[in-house]
Amino acid sequence: MNPEVKPDFEEFVKVIRGQKEPERVHLVELGVDGEVVRAVMETALGREWVPNTDGTRTEHMRQHVEFYAAMGYDFAPGWGAFENLPHFKERKAADTAQLGRGERHWVEEGGGIIKNWEDFERVKWDHIRPTFHSLEEMGAVLPDGMKLVVGATVFEMILERFLGYQDLFILSVDDPALVEAVFDAWGRKVYDFYSEAVRHPAVGAIFHADDLGFKTATLMSPEFLREHFFPWLKKYAALAHEQGKTFWYHCCGNVLEVMDDLIDDVEIDAFHSFQDVIIPISSFLDRYGDRVAGLGGADMDNLGRMDEGDVRRYVRGILDDCMPGRFALGSGNTVANYIPVRNYLAMIDEARRWSG
């Protein structure tokens, strides 16, 4: 790692906004799995790993910030947490990744906890409240020049937890009023989180995450998204902009049909999550780069399957195409625990080596 790289979130934001050309390759991740963080901390960085338990939580949060600073990021990601959430359905399976955590948890696709109005009323919505313990703990140990970015989910939480895939699809036709009520109820909870978090001096941006698509299209129709989801997304972007901060949007899948909505109506400042089979980040920037920044871009399939030499050549190609520009390098999604650590480190190293 290059100890001379100091975090400079203000410069990062100027690059994102297109106010200046980058002088170096800035890095971005929605997240890095804890198993990868541990491996890097203990090997590449030669530091002790602190697990996240009740007695070590504060130290673990400090370590979380330390990792992102040491790797050369200008920010550390944080997630919205909520008290008194209901118990959701969940499936479990063995985690077979090389750095596996024993079990991997999956959502129950068939249906969530809400199937009718009685189920909706049974949820104690008034008791669900955002918490800010992690934000406070991480904010207290940020090095100079570094910020936190905070995120939460709305569409995915409803799709995977409250209603479930199949029931959302069915109820959107059979009982659209119920679907609207769920979006309004949970959308408001996320709004409450963002409205307080974005005012915190340690927070530099909102990095909202909601996957809307699959390989060829959006999961729900563009009309459905415009009616139920984009109005909330627009409110969150407005909260960030009112505080002079930026709004980044992570979204997996093919959402090109609604990209103009996201840029022009929602007013996102940056878009994240790229698969080469849908649109490579270089092609995205060719099409939209004068209107929005592109974040990440290193396809997860390539990071997971290529050997280190091929990863380096692949990443250099991305940098040649995207630098300088409204761009920051990272994985196309997150650094999951099935990504070889050597490939993750190779991506970071190529960013450090880039000289234009």
Residue 108 lies in a domain: yes
Sequence-distant (6+) residues with CB within 8 A of 317 are none
Which of 4-18, 46-60, 92-106, 276-290 comes out lowest in average pLDDT? 92-106
Residue 238 lies in a domain: yes
Nearest Cα to 85, choosing from 187, 161, 165?
A: 161
Q: Locate 211 and state its tokens.
A: 């996957």
Has residue 53 got a pLDDT over 90?
no
Mean pLDDT, rounded, for 172-195: 98
Q: Which domain holds residue 204?
A: 75-144+146-208+217-244
Residue 329 lies in a domain: no
End-to-end CA distance of the chain: 20
Looking at residue 330, its pLDDT comes to 98
Mean pLDDT, rounded, for 219-241: 98
Please report, rounded to a whole number, the percentage of residues in the chain having pLDDT higher than 90.
86
Residue 164 lies in a domain: yes
Q: Are strands 81-83 and 75-79 parallel, antiparallel or unpaired?
A: unpaired
Residue 234 lies in a domain: yes
With 0.85 as the threshold, say if the pTM is over it.
yes
Residue 93 lies in a domain: yes
- What's the mean pLDDT when you consider all of the chain? 95
Nearest Cα to 149, choosing from 163, 141, 158, 139?
A: 139
Looking at residue 1, its pLDDT comes to 53
Looking at residue 52, its pLDDT comes to 83
Residue 40 lies in a domain: no
Mean pLDDT, rounded, for 155-162: 96
Has residue 106 got a pLDDT over 80?
no
Q: Locate 192 and state its tokens.
A: 């409450």
pLDDT digits (tens, 9 = 90+) for 250-294: 999 999 999 999 999 999 999 999 999 999 999 999 999 999 999
Has residue 162 got a pLDDT over 70?
yes
Has residue 15 got a pLDDT over 80?
yes
Residue 179 phi/psi, 5° resolution? -60, -45
Per residue, the 3-state secondary structure of the chain, as one string, reads CCCCCCCCHHHHHHHHCCCCCCCCCCECCCCECHHHHHHHHHCCCCCCCCCCCCCCHHHHHHHHHHHHHHHCCCEEEEECEEECCCCCCEEEEECCCCCCCCEEEEECCCCCCCCCHHHHHHCCHHHCEEECHHHHHHHCCCCCCCEEEEECCCHHHHHHHHCCHHHHHHHHHHCHHHHHHHHHHHHHHHHHHHHHHCCCCCEEEEEEECCCECCCCECCCHHHHHHHHHHHHHHHHHHHHHCCCEEEEECCCCCHHHHHHHHHHHCCCEEECCCCCCCCHHHHHHHHCCCCEEEEEECHHHHHHCCHHHHHHHHHHHHHHHCCCCEEEEECCCECCCCCHHHHHHHHHHHHHCCC
Residue 317 lies in a domain: no
Query: Do residues 273 and 333 make contact, with C-beta atoms less than 8 angstroms apart?
Result: yes
* Number of structural domains in the chain: 1
Looking at residue 3, its pLDDT comes to 55
